[in-house]
Structure 1
Amino acid sequence: MQYLQWIIKGMAMGAADVVPGVSGGTLAFILGIYERLLAAISGINLTALRLFSRGQWRAFWQQIDGSFLCCLVGGILLSIFSLATLISWLLEYRPVPLWAFFNGLILAALPPLFKVVKWSLPRVGLFGIGILVALSMGLLTPVSFTPELWMFFVAGAVAICAMILPGISGSFILLIVGMYAPVILAVKELDIAILFLFASGCVVGILSFSRFLNWLLKHYHDVSVAFLTGIVVGSVYKMWPWRDENVIYTPAGFAEKFGQHDLMLSVISFIAAVFVMLALLNLEKILGGSASPDKRTAASNKE
């Protein structure tokens, strides 16, 4: 049952990653697997390589938390391939209910998130800074230019770092820095050289940045979580259903300008999302399994 929980949570992350502006890291954070994910990625280090080269498969698998990673990645891929068409259709023809759904997911998860931190004035301040960071990211204007080859490596590193941060979308960062269209073009044209550079940047970025985040969460847990929670709260602004780029509308104002507001469908979608999130947060009880700790031991991450 534990494996099934990880797969389902991976599917939730994959569904979020399909939507531009929504971060799979957000879902990992609010579903309680964020710290374990960072620890698992951080476990892919020199120690893991030595264990692999010596044929110590069991120790290697434990070092990288292989079962957890495989189930999670499998769920992400399953969700991307199964839901991409549906979500793309919703983004084009019914974006308002879709954004309402993701709003419901995040807002329903906030009460448990707030309970994780022992709040103090400095942590409240960091929470506020996190909100401001997310809001400022949402207000940035995309740029456009012709990139050099080396920029694809940097773009991969930056995008993957953004992707594992709650509340910040890797695709949105690519859009802001003007690299989204070139990367998508490379994917469509199967430009192996560019895709290799981009993928290499992703590998370097995720292995280095995950170690930094993992260190922060180990040594400054509540401070880090307070800041990350602020980013999650601030990201709700980007997912307000009735908006056009950076302009926020009421449902009535949106209908006046665009012809319809899908209010009833959005309310239903929001309520459905709340129940979905409550189910995700209580998977252990629903499936009859026991909760497993999100953190791995410090020893498993040391080289």
Structure 2
Amino acid sequence: MSRKTSVAGNVVRGGLIGVVESVPGVSGGTVALVVGIYSQLIHSASSVVSALRTLITGPDRSAGAKKHLADVEWRVVLPVIIGMPIGLFTAVQFIGGWIEDHPELTRAVFFGMVLASIAVPLRMAGRIRGQHVTAGLAAAVITFGLVSLPPNNAEPHWWIILPAAAVAVCALLLPGLSGSFLLLTFGLYEPTIRAASDFQVGYLAVFALGLAVGLVTIVKGLKWLLDHHHTVTLTVLAGVMLGALRALWPWQTEDRVLLAPDELFGTAAGLAAAGFAVVAVLVIIDWRLDRRAQSAQID
């Protein structure tokens, strides 16, 4: 059951989603849930994809596409589309400098945020059995190994940026998963932040194309997995997030060799705790809103 929202309010909601999508560990999907527009966005995205598919494959291409587009909640979608880039481009002006000037402390904040975010897919998974735990741990081990590999320091090419952006758009479908966090695991977070901060049109155009490709393909597939293999999909997601925490350990070399904490340990621990607390508050708000919605449906 969705909440009624105003157009101006939806621009602000889109801005908030854009701001948090620039930060690894805070999910735009979670914020969409908290501000009450998650179901409208996912339903509308699915309707747009169905309209495009009908327009290409039929039957009744024009009429069928119009029917699907009529299901899109444009009063929500269009203001959010306007607000998101405003929030995103405003946030990256600050975040890029923080990452470059204070890498250990920035990673510490992100570490705490992602650690708290793992609770979201686990809560959404429902009843977790032994085979789900096994799948989640396997995903954690594989991810840990992948993010331990030395990064590719070459400039990212379009064939790397496009699929990474396509995968990152899935974060809007899955509360708890951050698009920026996915880019971080691919080694594209800092280049993307720099491109957005400097308005590198070529990079941003390829990235936008990747988002569109992901919306049409991966989001539909992910939605199918959630509908048909809900619990195992979410426990694997939690495992991926757990394993990828290795990439956010504050003390590591440029080749991702882990180091022991240094004199910044106290400050880093405090910032990690603060990041954890911010996301934990969002998780608790989401949980309470969900409980309230379930009670309203029963009544």
Same fold (TM over 0.5): yes
The unaligned stretches of length 5 or more in structure 1 are 256-260, 294-303
- Cα 1:202/1:154, change in 2 over 3 Å: farther
Deviation readout 1:226-279 (Å, 9 max, x if unpaired): 111111212221112222231222323xx4xxxxx2x33323322322332233
Residues 1-303 of structure 1 mapped to structure 2, 5 A cutoff: 3=5, 13-15=17-19, 17-18=21-22, 22=24, 26=27, 28=29, 36=39, 38-47=42-51, 60=69, 63-70=71-78, 72-74=80-82, 76-117=84-125, 118-143=127-152, 152=158, 155-164=161-170, 166=177, 169-170=182-183, 173=186, 175=188, 184=195, 190-191=201-202, 199-245=208-254, 246-252=256-262, 255=263, 261=264, 263-283=265-285
CA contact 1:30–1:113 (8 Å) conserved in 2: no
- Cα 1:267/1:7, change in 2 over 3 Å: farther
Deviation readout 1:87-106 (Å, 9 max, x if unpaired): 11211222222222222222
Q: Secondary structure at the match of 1:18?
A: coil
For the residues of structure 1 that align with 2:67 and 2:293, how far apart are their CA atoms?
Answer: 20
Using the size of structure 2 for normalisation, the TM-score is: 0.67
Q: Secondary structure at the match of 1:82?
A: helix
Number of residues paired by the alignment? Answer: 270
Deviation readout 1:145-201 (Å, 9 max, x if unpaired): 799xxx73674244322442536523653749xxx69x959x86645xx86565434
CA contact 2:139–2:236 (8 Å) conserved in 1: yes
Using the size of structure 1 for normalisation, the TM-score is: 0.67
Q: Secondary structure at the match of 1:243?
A: coil
CA contact 1:159–1:173 (8 Å) conserved in 2: no
CA displacement at 1:79 relative to structure 2: 2.9
Q: Give the aligned CA root-mean-square deviation in angstroms.
A: 4.5
Q: In structure 2, give the amino acid aligned to 1:104.
A: G
CA contact 1:39–1:211 (8 Å) conserved in 2: no
For the residues of structure 2 that align with 1:23 and 1:104, how far apart are their CA atoms?
Answer: 8
For the residues of structure 1 that align with 2:43 and 2:76, how far apart are their CA atoms?
Answer: 11
- Cα 1:136/1:35, change in 2 over 3 Å: farther
The unaligned stretches of length 5 or more in structure 2 are 172-176, 295-299
